[in-house]
Structure 1
Amino acid sequence: MSNPPFGFGPPDPDKRGDNDPSNPGQPGGAEAFNQLGQMLSQLGQMLSQAGSSSGPVNYDLAKQIALQNLSGRDDAKIGFTSETGGDSATAVRDAAHLAELWLDAATILPAGATSTVSWSARTWVEKTLPTWQRLCDPVAQQVSGAWMQALPEEAKQAAGPLLSMMGQMGGMAFGSQLGNALAQLAQEVLTSTEVGLPLGPAATSALLPANIEKFTEGLELPASEVLVFLAAREAAHQRLFAHVPWLRQRLLATVEEFAHGITVDTSALESLAGSIDPANPASIEEAMSSGLLEPQTTPEQQAALKRLETLLALVEGWVDVVVAEAIGDRLPGADALRETLRRRRATGGPAEQTFATLVGLELRPRRMRAASSLWKLVGDRHGLEKRDGLWSHPDLMPTAEDLDEPLDFADRLSEPAALDADLDPMAELERTEKAEREAREAKPDAEGGAGSDADSKGGETPTDEDPKDEGKKDEGNSPS
C-alpha cells in the first residue's frame, strides 16, 4: 500500500520537540523531571481543549485545525463577476443556470440541485465534514481496534484507565491528520464533487470561486468560460447523485468494506518492542516510522478497492462525456479545459492524495479515460436513454472487465432480450411478484375448488386449529 491510512503515516521530522535527545544542549536531572511534569500538564490541557468528540477520530480537533490553517485566507477577494455586474455568488448562479440548460439536451437525468451556492474554503470544510466522518470512521475504528486486539490480555488488565487515555490520544492523532489534510484540500478543490464523491449536502451545487480564480490564472482562457465549464461538471455530478439512489450508498459502503479488513500484524509488535529504548525517545519515533505496523492489504480489500476504483471511474467518465456533449462548441476553450482537468487528476492532485491517505486508493487515470470512452461508445450506438438507463440498477453497470473491452459491452447491449427486459429492474420485479401472486390465487381452483384451510394457504398446515378438529384428531390417534 503506497499510502497508509490514518495513524500509520510517519511523523514530521521538523516537529521534534526540544526534548529530542538528538538535539544538542539537552537539560538533564531535576530539570528534566520538571519538564516532564510540564509536558503532562500540557497534555491534560490539550485533552480538555480538544473538545468532547468521542470515537476513533476527534472531529472537533480536525475542524479546529483545518479552520486555523485557513484563518489567514481571504476568500472575499475574488475576481468573478456576473454578466450583469453582480458579485461572485451571482456569477456562480448565472453560470449554473446556463449549464443546466445545456445539460438538459445531453442526458435524460433531470436537474439534481435545488440550489447553487458559492463556498469559501472554510465553508467547504464545515459542509463536507459530516461525509468525511462517515468515510474516516470505519478506517480509524478498525485501526484502533486492531491495536487493542493485538495487546495480550494481561497487558489490557494492567493498563486499565491508561487505555482510555490512549484511545483519546489516538483520536486526537487521527483528528490532527485529518484536519491538516482537509485544510490542504480546501485550498485546491474547485467544486463540492471534484473528489468524485458526494461530499456536500444533498441537492446543493457548490463552487469555490477563490480556488477557481487561482486555477484559471495560468490557463489563458476567459474566467467566465472556466466558471461555466466547472458549473456544468458540478451540475452533472448532482444529477447523477440525486437520481441514482443506490450510488451514494454503494460508494460509501465500499469504503467501509475495505476498512473492515484492516488488521495489524501482532508479530510486528514484538519486533517493535525489541527496537525501542525507553531512555531514548528518538527510538520510539524511528520505530513508529519504520513501517513495521503498516497494515497489509488482503485479497478481499484489493477486490473492494477495485470495485471502488471502477465505480469512481464510471462516475467521472460519465460526467466527462455528458459535459462535453452539453457544451459542444459553445465554449471555444472547452477541449483544452477538459484535458487540463484530466491531467490534474492524472498527476495525483490533493484530492487523490487525501483519498489515497484515507483508504489506500489511487484513482488511476487510465480507468477514468477508459470509462469515458465506454460511455461515449454506448451513447453513440444506443442513444442517451439506454446509456443513462444503465444507472437504474447496479447490476446493469459496466464492470472493470467491460472497461477493458468496451466494444464487447456495447455489442451485448444490442441484444434486445439482454437489455430491454432489464432496463427497468423495478418493473421487472413487479411483473415477477404479480405472476407469483396470480399463481398462488389460482392454485386452489386447480386442486378442486376452495377446499380446506390448508389448500387456501398454499398447502400449509393451519396454525390456529378448531377445537373440534383437535378432538377428532386425538380420537383418531388413540390406541385401539
Structure 2
Amino acid sequence: MADDDEASRFEPDDFPADFQELLRNLLGGGGGASIDPAQLEGLSRMGVDPAMLQQIMAQMQAAFTRGSDDGIDWSAAKTQALHLSNKDGLSISSGDRAEFEQAFALATLWLSETTTISELAAPPVAITRGQWVEETLPVWQELAEPVADSIAGALTSVIDEQTPEEMKQLVAGAGAFMRRIGGSLFASQLGGVIGRLSLEVVSGGDVGIPVMPDGVAAILPQNFDDFGRDLEVTDDQLALYLATRELAHARLFRHAKWLRLHVISQVTEFARGIHVDTSALEDLASRFNPSAPEELRAALESGALLPQRTPAQDAALTRLENLLATIEGWVEVVTEDATARLPEAARIAEAVRRRRAVGGPAEQAMASLVGLELRPRRLREASAMWRAVTDAVGVAERDSLWDYPDLMPDASDIDDPQALIARLQARAAGEEPPRDAMDEALEELLAEAAAGDAAADETGSRSSDAAAGDDPATDDPGTDDPGTDDPRPV
C-alpha cells in the first residue's frame, strides 16, 4: 500500500478533506481503527444518518478483521433482525401461553378426524418474534446467499472497472474488502426485512415455505391481536383456526420428509439465476451523491439493481408458485374440514387467503430485495382440486398422494382434477389407470428406443457373422473337398 504522500497525489480535488482522511484511514490497513469521531460528525453534516454511519463503520472494521475470508458475514443480518423484532418486548404472558396451549390441544383432536397424517412428535409452542428470527434465519440465509454473492461480486467488478489506472495501486487489495463490505451491507438490509417480517407473521408456516425446524409448530402471540383486529371474530375462534392451520402445515412437512428439500431446492434454483444489473449499478455509482444516500437505499429496497427475469427464471417461478399453491391448498381444505364447528371459520379463512395473496409490507420488501414473491397465486384452484379429490376418493386416498414425490399432484392436475381422480379411482380398484398424453408419448419413446436397440443388435450380429466367414483360421484348405479325409491329427 502506498504511503500518505503517494496517496495524496491521487486524491480527487473535489473530495472533502474529511472524506480524504477517512479514505486513507480505511484503505491504510488499519480497518478504520484510527478514525476520529469528529470525522464521523463532520460527515453526518453531509446528510448521512449518524446511526447508520456508525453501523457501516462497524461492519467495515469487522470486514477488515476477518482477513482473507471472502464469505459473507451474516451476523449483521441477525443483529439487525433481532434489533427490530425485540423492540416491543421479549416475553409472552402466561395467559397467552395457556390460551394457545388449549387451542393447540383441541386443534390436534379436530385434525385427527380430517386427515390420516399423524400428529407431531414435539408439542406446539408459543414463541416471541425474536425466537422466530432465531429459528428461521438459517433458511432465509440459504435463500438469499446467491443474491448476496451476486451483489458482492458485481460491486467488486464495478469498482475495478471504474478505478483510474493511476489510482489502482492506491486501492490495490481493496477488491476483496469491498466484496465483504457489499455482502455485509446486503446482509444487514436482509436482516431489516426479516426483522420487519417478524412483526407481521402469526405462525411458523405463515409465509408458505418451511422456515421453521422440521416438525415444529409455533404461534406468535405478539402478532395475534394485530391480525384479528378488524375481523370482528372472537379471540378463541381465531386462535383455534390459526392453531389448526399451523398444525396442518407442520404435520404435512413432517410426514412428507422429501417435501421440505423439494421446496427449498426450487427456491434456491430460482435465486441462483439472479444476477445484479451491473449497468444500473454503474449508472448509480456515476451519479451517487454522498449528501443524498436515499437513492442508493431506495435502489436496494426497490429491486432496481435486479434485472428482468429470464425465461428460465420465469419457468422456475411458475413451478414454485404451483408447488406452494398445492401445499397450501391441501392445508386450507384440511383446516376447513377440521374447523367446521367454528361459526366464523369461513370469514377467517377468507382473511387468511386474502392476506397470503396480497402480502404485507415486509413480504413485498423481501420480493424486491431477493426478487422472489412467495405467493401461491393459484391457491383457489389448488383448493378446489383438493376438495374434489376429497369428495371423490376420501381422506385416506387423498393424503396418500404425499407418500412419495412422484405421486404429488402437479400443475396439470390443478388444471384438470378429474384426470387425477380417475387415476386414484383406478389405483384403488386395482385397475390400470387411464392413459393420458404423457403415457402415449412415453410409450412411443420406449418403442423407438427398443426398435433402435433391436436394429443395433441385428447389425452387430451380421457384422460378427461376416467377420467369422472371412477369418482365415476357418478357411482350412484341407476341407475344400468333402471327400478328402481331414489331414489334421486327431
Distance, in Å, in 1 between the alignment partners of 2:16 and 2:127 is 54
Q: Which moved more, 1:222-231 or 1:395-404?
A: 395-404
Give the letter aligned to residue 381 of structure 2. A
Which has the larger displacement, 135-144 or 93-102?
Answer: 135-144
Cα distance, 1:201 vs structure 2: 2.0
Q: How does 1:75-474 map to 2 (within 5 A)?
A: 76=91, 87-145=95-153, 160-264=172-276, 272=283, 276=286, 281=290, 293-328=305-340, 330-350=341-361, 352-357=363-368, 359-364=370-375, 366-416=377-427
TM-score (norm 1): 0.70
Question: Structure 2 CA distance, aligned partners of 1:251 and 1:419?
Answer: 32
Q: Please state if 1:73 is matched with 2:88.
A: yes
Q: Secondary structure at the match of 2:79?
A: helix
**Contact 1:147/1:264 (<8 A) preserved:** no
Deviations 1:51-106 (A, max 9, x none): 9696654321111112222343035476xxxxxxx622222221111101110111
Structure-2 separation of matches of 1:337 and 1:304: 31
List per-residue Cα deviations over 1:407-456 (Å, max 9, x = no partner). Answer: 3333343333998789xxxxxxxxxxxxxxxxxxxxxxxxxxxxxxxxxx
- Give, in angstroms, the shift of residue 241 of structure 1: 0.7
Cα 1:266–1:213 shift into 2, 3 Å: closer
Decide whether aligned partners of structure 1 residues 368 and 420 sit closer, same or farther in structure 2, where only a CA change above 3 A counts. farther
> What TM-score, normalized to structure 2?
0.69
Matching residue's letter, 2:307: P
In structure 2, what is the equivalent of residue 457 of structure 1?
Answer: none
State the alpha-carbon separation in 1 of the partners of residues 104 and 377 from structure 2. Answer: 29
* Number of residue-to-residue matches in the alignment: 385
Whole-Å separation in 2 of the counterparts to 1:200 and 1:47: 32
Alpha-carbon distance, 1:372 to partner: 0.7
Contact map agreement 2:108 2:119 (CA 8 A) in 1: yes
Q: 1:260 to 1:88 in 2, by over 3 A?
A: same
AA aligned opposite 1:228: L
- Say if 1:293 and 1:181 are closer, same or farther in 2 by CA, change over 3 A: closer
CA distance in 2, matches of 1:235, 1:182: 23
1:309 and 1:361 in contact (8 A); partners too: no
Cα distance in 1 for residues equivalent to 2:334 and 2:389: 12
What residue in structure 1 maps to residue 465 of structure 2? none
Structure 2 CA distance for partners of 1:193 and 1:55, relative to 1, 3 Å:
farther
Q: Distance in 1 between matches of 2:430 and 2:175?
A: 56
Letter in 2 for 1:118: A
Call closer, same or farther: CA 1:223–1:288 in 2, change over 3 Å: closer
- Kindly indicate whether the alpha-carbon contact (under 8 Å) linking 2:103 and 2:243 is maintained by their aligned counterparts in 1: yes
Aligned counterparts of 2:107 and 2:155: Cα–Cα separation in 1: 50
Deviation for aligned residue 1:250? 0.7
Q: Is 1:64 matched with 2:93?
A: no
AA at the equivalent of 2:60:
L
Name the structure, 1 or 2, with higher relative contact order (CA <8 Å, separation 6+): 1
Cα pair distance change 1:382/1:145, threshold 3 Å: farther
**1-side partners of 2:160 and 2:70: how far apart?**
23
Counterpart Cα distance in 1 of 2:369 and 2:316: 14
The amino acid across from 1:72 in the alignment is: K
Structure 2 contact 144–271 (Cα < 8 Å) conserved: no
- Change beyond 3 A, Cα 1:413–1:29: closer
* Unaligned segments of structure 2, at least 5 residues: 1-13, 27-31, 36-53, 434-490
Q: Return the offset for 1:223.
A: 0.7
Contact 2:193 2:362 in 1 (8 A): no
Q: Contact 2:328–2:376 at 8 Å: present in 1 too?
A: no
Identity among equivalent pairs (%)? 41
Q: CA 1:355–1:315 in 2, change beyond 3 Å: closer, same or farther?
A: farther
Residue of structure 1 equivalent to 2:477: none
**CA displacement, residues 270-293 of structure 1 (integer Å, 9 cap, x when unaligned):** x638x8258x54799768967874
Other structure's SS at 1:198 match:
coil
Q: Deviations over 1:17-39 (max 9, x none)?
A: xxxxxxxxxx9864664676788
CA–CA separation in structure 1 for the residues paired with 2:337 and 2:125? 24
Residue type of the alignment partner of 1:414: Q
Q: CA RMSD in A?
A: 3.6
State the one-letter code of the partner of 1:406: P
Residues 150-204 of structure 1: per-residue CA shift (max 9 Å, x gap): 7879989966421121122112211121111111111110001111112122222
- Partners of 1:121 and 1:420 lie apart in 2 by 52
Q: Which residue identity lines up with residue 425 of structure 2 in the other structure?
A: S
Q: Please list every run of 5 or more consecutive structure 1 residues that lacks an aligned counterpart in the other structure.
A: 1-26, 79-85, 423-480
Q: Is 1:75–1:120's contact at 8 Å kept on the other side of the alignment?
A: yes
Superposed displacement of residue 358, structure 1: 5.1
Shift of 1:134: 1.5
Task: Determine the C-alpha separation between the residues in 1 that align with 2:72 and 2:432.
Answer: 47
The verdict on how the C-alpha distance between 1:418 and 1:154 changes in structure 2, with shifts beyond 3 A counting, is farther
Partners of 2:98 and 2:298 lie apart in 1 by 49
Greater CA radius of gyration, 1 or 2? 2
